[in-house]
Amino acid sequence: MRPIDGKRLIIAEGVGRTAMAVPNGDSVEITTLKEGGMEGGTPAVTVTKGMAWTAEGKLRQRDAKNPDADKGPFRLFAVPLPK
């Protein structure tokens, strides 16, 4: 979770979703910005120049039977931020 500006937060949900949170008093409004297409989950997200960049994880692709399942590069996804 990282601040976008003084009013919003960007969230990398480990299940493969990137969301934005906007606090409003005692509650928070959550908006899903990207879901799916990230097979290994989303362990990280950062913001620059009006875009969220979310990283695809690879931890779920590894297991005891196949510890070297995916040695390829990590993928980054550009996610436009609503204004």
DSSP secondary structure, the chain, as one string: -EESSSS-EEEEETTTEEEEEEEETTEEEEEEEEESS-TT---EEEEETTEEEEEPP-GGG-BTTBTTS--S---EEEEEPP-
Give the pLDDT band of residue 61 (cuts 50, 70, 90).
Answer: low
The model's pLDDT over 21-55, given as tens digits with 9 standing for 90+, comes to 999 999 999 999 998 877 777 888 999 988 999 98
Res 71: pLDDT: 63
Domain count along the chain: 1
How much is the pLDDT for 33? 94
- Residue 51 belongs to what domain range? 2-80
Q: pLDDT value at position 68? A: 65
| pLDDT for the residue numbered 60 | 59
Distance from C-alpha of 49 to C-alpha of 30, rounded to nearest angstrom: 21
CA distance 53 to 68: 26
Q: Is the pLDDT of residue 62 over 70?
A: no
